[in-house]
Structure 1
Amino acid sequence: MDTLNTIPAQLDHLIITVPDLEAGVAAVEEATGVRAVPGGSHPGRGTANFLLGLAPTGWPEGAHTYLEILGPDPQQEKPADGTLPLDAHLATEPTLQTWAIHPPAFLAKVAAANTAGIDFGEVQDMARDTAEGDRLEWRLTTRSPLPHEGAQPFLIDWGESVHPAEAALPTLELLEFRVESPEPEAARQVLEVLGAGDTTVVEGSNCRLRARLRGPGGILEF
Structure 2
Amino acid sequence: MDDLSTIPANLDHLIITVPELEAGVAEFERLTGVRAVAGGSHPGRGTANYLVGLAPTGWEAGAHTYLEILGPDAQQKPPADGILPLDAHLAQGLTLQTWAIHPHAFLAKVAGANTEGIDFGEVRDMSRETADGTLLEWRLTSRSPLPSTGTQPFLIDWGESTHPAEASLPSVELLEFTIESPDAEDTRRVLDVLGAGDAQVVEGKEYRLHARLRGPGGVLEF
Bin for the TM-score computed over the shorter chain:
over 0.9
Equivalent runs, 1:182-201 vs 2, <5 Å: 182-201=182-201
Which amino acid counterpart does residue 191 of structure 1 have in structure 2? L
Which amino acid counterpart does residue 123 of structure 1 have in structure 2? V
Identity in percent: 76
Distance 1:163 1:71 in 2: 21
Q: TM-score, normalised by structure 1?
A: 0.98
Q: Aligned-pair distance for 1:148?
A: 0.0
Distance 2:118 2:136 in 1: 28
Q: TM-score, normalised by structure 2?
A: 0.98
Distance 1:208 1:65 in 2: 21
**Residue 60 of structure 1: aligned partner:** 60
1:139 to 2:124 alignment: no
Kindly provide the CA deviation profile for residues 62-95 of structure 1, in whole angstroms up to 9, marking residues without a partner as x: 2110000000000000111111000001112110
Is the contact between residue 180 and residue 203 of structure 2 (CA under 8 Å) also seen in structure 1? yes
Q: Aligned-pair distance for 1:3?
A: 7.8
Which amino acid counterpart does residue 143 of structure 1 have in structure 2? R
Is the contact between residue 57 and residue 176 of structure 1 (CA under 8 Å) also seen in structure 2? no
Distance 1:34 1:57 in 2: 17
**Residue 166 of structure 2: aligned partner:** 166
Residues paired across the two proteins, number = 221
Distance 1:97 1:71 in 2: 11
> Mind listing any 5+ residue stretches in structure 2 that lack a counterpart?
none
Does the residue aligned with 1:148 lie in a helix, a strand or coil? helix
Which amino acid counterpart does residue 117 of structure 2 have in structure 1? G
Shift of the 149–80 alpha-carbon distance from structure 1 to 2, 3 Å rule, reads: same
Kindly provide the CA deviation profile for residues 10-61 of structure 1, in whole angstroms up to 9, marking residues without a partner as x: 0000000000001100111000100000000000000000000000133212
Does the residue aligned with 1:212 lie in a helix, a strand or coil? strand
**Residue 108 of structure 2: aligned partner:** 108
Distance 1:57 1:202 in 2: 22
**Residue 149 of structure 1: aligned partner:** 149
**Residue 79 of structure 1: aligned partner:** 79
Which amino acid counterpart does residue 102 of structure 1 have in structure 2? H
Is the contact between residue 6 and residue 58 of structure 1 (CA under 8 Å) also seen in structure 2? no
Which amino acid counterpart does residue 43 of structure 1 have in structure 2? P
Is the contact between residue 7 and residue 57 of structure 1 (CA under 8 Å) also seen in structure 2? no
Does the residue aligned with 2:6 lie in a helix, a strand or coil? coil
Distance 1:33 1:46 in 2: 28
> Mind listing any 5+ residue stretches in structure 1 that lack a counterpart?
none
Distance 1:62 1:173 in 2: 14
Which amino acid counterpart does residue 192 of structure 1 have in structure 2? D
Which amino acid counterpart does residue 122 of structure 1 have in structure 2? E
Does the residue aligned with 1:144 lie in a helix, a strand or coil? coil
**Residue 93 of structure 1: aligned partner:** 93
1:35 to 2:35 alignment: yes
Is the contact between residue 182 and residue 204 of structure 2 (CA under 8 Å) also seen in structure 1? yes
Does the residue aligned with 1:50 lie in a helix, a strand or coil? strand
Does the residue aligned with 2:44 lie in a helix, a strand or coil? coil
Does the residue aligned with 2:111 lie in a helix, a strand or coil? helix
Distance 2:205 2:25 in 1: 29
Which amino acid counterpart does residue 217 of structure 2 have in structure 1? G
Which amino acid counterpart does residue 58 of structure 2 have in structure 1? G
Does the residue aligned with 1:71 lie in a helix, a strand or coil? strand
Kindly provide the CA deviation profile for residues 111-140 of structure 1, in whole angstroms up to 9, marking residues without a partner as x: 000000000000000000001110000000
Which amino acid counterpart does residue 201 of structure 2 have in structure 1? V
